[in-house]
Structures are given as C-alpha cells and as structure tokens.
A and B are shown apart, each in its own frame.
Chain A
C-alpha cells in the first residue's frame, strides 16, 4: 500500500468535529421533536379527520415514505425558491428531516393508537374528561409507551440523516465540518474515518441511554 496515514491533523481538529457533532445532535433532536408533533397530528387526521384532511395526511405520509430523504431536502432547498422563499441549508435540512420523520412516525403512531383499547377512551369520557384531556392524559401516554422502541429507532435514523446536509452545502454539522477539513487537507480517509467513529459512538450512546430510560420509565 503506497499510502501514508496522517492522523495528526485529524487529532488537531477533533474539537472542531466534536462541535459539529453537537450541531448534528441539535438538528436531529429538533427534527425529532417537531416531527413527533406533526406525526401525532397526521395520525389523528387519518384516524378521525374528514376526507380532505385524511387525503392531505396521506399525501404527506406517502411522499415521505416513498421518496429518498435527500430528494425531500432538495425539494425544500431548491424547490421552495420557486415561491420566492430563500431557505438556507440548515433550515432545509431541518425541515427535510422533520418532514421525513413525521411521515414515518405517523405510520408508527397509527399502529400505536390502535394498540390502545377503545374502552379506555370510553371509560375516560364517561368519567367526565373532555376529548382533548382524554387524548392527553389517557390515550397519548399509553400510545407513546407502545411505540417507544420504534421512536428510538427513528431518532437514530434522524441522526444518520443529518449527514445529508453536506449535499446542500451545510458546513456546521459533523459531516459538513469533516468535508470542510477534507477539502482543505485532502486527508479524506482519516477525517471520514474519525467522523464514522463519532457517528457510531453517538448512535450507540443514544441507543443505550434510551434502553436505560425505558427500563426506568416502563417498570410497571
């Protein structure tokens, strides 16, 4: 092999990459939080909304699930320009992942809602709780427990999807920072290898802490 590894510049810029990892986590967590809210609304629209609402939810869900995530980010980054909206790469990535998360989670939540027995709703209603309070205090907690595992998987996907930001020119997340350093130094393998290790660590740490959290939250 006629290749000499140069690890020193990578070690030197490790702090920069760690900051990038923080931005990655920030985007993934935001996209997950907003996506969850939209996913619940989408699932409810499909369950109990009218024909129009249900059809709109269908369009959202099927587009999110049947086209590449990168395509969705492109559509927001380049496509919204046609409406005179100038979206920077950070928002395009965040909106794209949020859209994708919401579509996938909506299907998960639909399954989760049907796992909560209908009798629970009726019992809560006959105890005098309103529709919204029934949803908030009775149905949602049980539904979220049923889909917790699927949600942690989606969060890992969310973290991995943030790497797509570099394709629309994002330079602040982990992949973006790595690509910037790569362009300057041409140490492609070394930088991306360290980035790969960081991504692996992030997803493992997240998975393990989610498992610990689940064992505390769902003791009963």
Chain B
C-alpha cells in the first residue's frame, strides 16, 4: 500500500474501456430507439387520432419522468419477475425506449413535412403504400430530420452516464474508480470530460454543418 500513486497508462486504458462501454450502450440504445421511433412515428403521422393520441400520450410519459427513475424501475422488474436479464440488456432497453419516445416525435415531424401532394403523386403512379413510404417519404423525411436525429443520438450518449446507478462501469464510473486510487479527482474527471467532449463535439459540429447546408437547398 502506497500513497500518492500517480495516474498511470493503465488507468487511462481502463477509462478508455469505459468509453467503449459507453459507445456500445449508445449504439444499441439508438438502434432500438430509432427502429421503434420510425414505427411509432409513421403510426402517429398516418393514422386517425384514436391511434395517434394514445401512442403520443404513452411516449410522453417517458419524456416526463427522470431517466434515473426509469432505470431503477426497469431494473426492479428484473428481480420482480425473476427475469435474470443482464444489467446491460436492462440499460439498453430502458435507454432505447427513452430514445424511442423522442425519436417518434422527430420522425413524425419529418413525415408530416413531406408534402401530401408528393405522397399522393407517388401513390397514383402505382406505388403501394409500403413502396411509397420506403422510396419517397422516408428518404425525404430523413433529409429534414437528420440533424435533430444526431442531436438525439448525442443526447442518448450523454444519458448513458446514468447507467452507473444500476451498476454498469461506463466512462464516468470508470473515472470514479480511478479517482479512488489516484486521489486526484479534478485531473481524472477532466480526462473523462475530454473523452466525452471528443466523442460528442465533432458529431455535433457535423450535424450543425449538415443542417446549414441542407437548409439552403
């Protein structure tokens, strides 16, 4: 046992492996969130109010409750129903549904931004509903909402920090573990912050640039 241990290369590697966990959870949750979001978004945009409103109301609940509480509740289902799901799965599902709640509104705004006349024209050229959605509506909607989707993905990336509460060692938790050994919280947290920044800032800039470029056309 010795005091005054300084930050070593291994600590950095440990934090980077935490960052990999953060990225993995982000990718999985965004994938779940986007597929559910497209499904619900299409349903909300193109169905009568008695289907659209309940979907909107239920998804609104997920946006009005702190993610931390949702994680704890999801995690408690695990023991209540004896599911024995790994914590990673619980975290990804919970974040995925949380992301879906936001993605649904993004998809809906994109789909409603596609002019009805364009969609009708496609249908009258003989495309089925499914063909029209896949080759007309979704490509046009994607162009419109891609910047906000990037914002959502980055938001989910930042929200993954909360999964430390249910016992997953991601970037923030790994930096905390390193801190307990090195006893230099400011230095270690700054490195963690730098890693978060490097993961988020370039993509945020890309999104802003695309938004600017696509707006002109």
A joins B in a complex: yes
Q: CB within 8 A of B165: which of A82, A167, A200?
A: A167
Q: Is the CB of A68 within 8 A of B161?
A: yes
Q: Does B197 contact A (CB under 8 A)?
A: yes
Q: Is the CB of B69 within 8 A of A67?
A: no
* Stretch binding the partner chain, chosen from B34-42, B76-84, B122-130, B131-139: B76-84
With contacts A189-B73, A192-B72 known, is A71 near B61, CB below 8 A?
Answer: no
Q: Does B172 contact A (CB under 8 A)?
A: yes
Q: Does B204 contact A (CB under 8 A)?
A: yes
Q: What residues of chain B lie closer than 8 Å to A22, measured between beta carbons? A: none
Chain B interface, DSSP helix/strand/loop, else mixed: helix
Chain A interface, DSSP helix/strand/loop, else mixed: helix
- Interface size (A, Cβ < 8 Å)? 39
Q: Does A146 contact B (CB under 8 A)?
A: no
Q: What residues of chain A lie closer than 8 Å to B160, measured between beta carbons? A: 68
Q: Is the CB of B64 within 8 A of A204?
A: yes
CB-contacts of A35-83 with B (<8 A): 62-63, 65-71, 74-75, 78-83
Q: CB within 8 A of B158: which of A68, A75, A188?
A: A68
Q: Does B45 contact A (CB under 8 A)?
A: no
CB-contacts of A156-189 with B (<8 A): 156, 160-164, 166-167, 175, 188-189
Bound state CA distance, A188 and B74, in angstroms?
11
Q: Is the CB of B172 within 8 A of A188?
A: no
Q: Is the CB of A70 within 8 A of B65?
A: no
With contacts A63-B193, A67-B158 known, is A199 near B65, CB below 8 A?
Answer: yes
Tally of A-B Cβ pairs under 8 angstroms: 109
**Closest CB of chain B to A158's CB: distance in Å?**
11
* Stretch binding the partner chain, chosen from B47-55, B111-119, B142-150, B182-190: B182-190
Closest to A65 in B: B204
Q: Is the CB of A62 within 8 A of B189?
A: no
Q: What residues of chain A lie closer than 8 Å to B204, measured between beta carbons? A: 65-66
**Closest CB of chain B to A196's CB: distance in Å?**
5
> Contact size class for B?
35 or more
With contacts A71-B189, A163-B69, A175-B69 known, is A189 near B76, CB below 8 A?
Answer: yes
Q: Does A213 contact B (CB under 8 A)?
A: no
Q: Is the CB of B193 within 8 A of A75?
A: yes
Q: What residues of chain B lie closer than 8 Å to A3, measured between beta carbons? A: 80-81
With contacts A67-B197, A167-B165 known, is A199 near B189, CB below 8 A?
Answer: no
Q: Is the CB of B172 within 8 A of A199?
A: no
Bound state CA distance, A15 and B77, in angstroms?
26
Q: Is the CB of A1 within 8 A of B69?
A: no
Q: What residues of chain B lie closer than 8 Å to A79, measured between beta carbons? A: 185-186, 189-190
Closest to B200 in A: A66
Bound state CA distance, A78 and B180, in angstroms?
11
Q: Does A127 contact B (CB under 8 A)?
A: no
**Closest CB of chain A to B52's CB: distance in Å?**
19
Additional pairs, 4, CB under 8 Å, beyond known A1-B80, A70-B162: A78-B185, A79-B190, A82-B187, A189-B76
A-B contact pairs, 22 of them (CB 8 A): A3-B81, A66-B200, A66-B204, A67-B200, A68-B158, A68-B172, A71-B161, A71-B192, A71-B193, A74-B172, A75-B189, A75-B193, A78-B186, A81-B185, A82-B187, A163-B66, A163-B68, A164-B162, A189-B76, A192-B69, A196-B73, A199-B65
Give me the 6 closest cross-chain CB pairs, A-B, nearest first.
A163-B66, A68-B161, A78-B185, A82-B186, A66-B200, A68-B158
B residues with CB within 8 A of A = 61, 64-70, 72-73, 76-77, 80-82, 154, 158-162, 164-165, 172, 176, 179, 184-187, 189-190, 192-193, 196-197, 200-201, 204
